[in-house]
Amino acid sequence: MHRAVRSGYASRFASLLAFVVALAGLDASAGDAPVFGYGVMFSNATQSYDFATFPLVTPFAPLDAQLVAATAVGNNHARLQAIDAGGNLVTLDTATGGVSLVGPLGIGPQQRVSIAADPGTGALFVIAGDSNCFLTVLYSVDPATGLATPVTPLPECVAAVAADVAHQLLYFLDEGAAAVNVVDAQGNETTLGDLGVVPNASARIMIDPVSGGLFMTQFEFPTFSNSLYAIDTASGAASFVMDIGGANPLGAPVLAPPQGVLIDRIFSDGFDP
């Protein structure tokens, strides 16, 4: 059951809502649980970062940068937009792991960073904040230069943002409240129920482009392995799906269609005759 916590965000979230509305025509189809994704993994052997696929977490290309957040623009998972640890916007080639600099955000490195893309226009939005959750800010980002422009401060300790293409919703993972909030196209924000899992600094949420489901990855310190959770968007409860491996936290995770899988937009609502 949803619990409304605040409303009337239309004025403060004008740019963000334009992004949410732009998602309307890009529905994701129903399907199975996600079986493929990208991420960044620290290598204890080389003391560097590798580009990786999961599950299970498999490094396949060295990176010349530490990436802290990433997103696909529309359905193009061949090239990801990402933020590196130095506070720069970069692009990532998923076939080679090659990283290309776009430009500095102009806000400096931050402890909490998440990025989302308007798949219609390529417009980018970044949420960034400090480690103590004193300040969280939503920025719009120029995809050509990387320059970030403040849109509005946020009251939550947002650790990750995920766009639900099919339903014109935006989800925030509120690390401080151990809950997921959802913002609709009218700017009303609602807090879903308790996750049932205490998120740590490694927790990130994302939408699976194949199933349209909301998921969370998190590094589990007792087992020293990454877990995948499915989040019920009605109750907010997180359910364990599988261990996706990796000996270190999986950074900048992005779910993507497995190679060769096409997203059927015509019957995304399930009414397939």
Q: Say if 264 falls within a structural domain.
A: no
Q: Say if 50 falls within a structural domain.
A: yes
Backbone angles phi, psi at 177, to 5 degrees: -100, -5
Number of structural domains found in the chain: 1
Cis amide linkage into residue 209, ω under 30° from 0: no
Instruction: Calculate the average pLDDT of the chain.
Output: 83
Q: What is the pLDDT of residue 39?
A: 96
Q: What is the pLDDT of residue 34?
A: 57
Structural domain harbouring 169: 3-255
| In the predicted structure, residue 207 carries a pLDDT above the cut 80 | yes
Q: Say if 265 falls within a structural domain.
A: no
CA dihedral 89, 93, 97, 102 (to 10 degrees): -20
Query: Which ranges of 6-152 does DSSP label H, i.e. alpha helix?
Result: 14-22
| In the predicted structure, residue 263 carries a pLDDT above the cut 50 | yes
19-28, 130-139, 237-246: least confidently modelled range? 19-28
pLDDT in tens, 68-111: 999 988 778 899 999 999 999 999 999 999 999 999 999 988 99
Q: What is the pLDDT of residue 193?
A: 85
Q: What is the pLDDT of residue 122?
A: 64
Q: Say if 218 falls within a structural domain.
A: yes
Confidence of residue 252 (pLDDT cuts 50, 70, 90): very high
Q: Say if 195 falls within a structural domain.
A: yes
15-24, 92-101, 122-131: least confidently modelled range? 15-24
Q: What is the pLDDT of residue 168?
A: 74
Q: How many of the other CB atoms lie within 10 Å of CB of 245?
A: 16
Q: What is the CATH number of the domain that holds 171?
A: 2.120.10.30
- The model's pTM is 0.84
Contact 113, 98 (CB under 8 A): no
pLDDT in tens, 141-179: 999 999 999 998 998 999 999 887 667 788 999 988 999
Q: Say if 135 falls within a structural domain.
A: yes
Nearest to residue 240, comparing CAs of 227, 259, 257, 251? 227
pLDDT in tens, 29-64: 334 555 799 999 999 888 999 999 999 999 989 998
Q: What is the pLDDT of residue 178?
A: 92
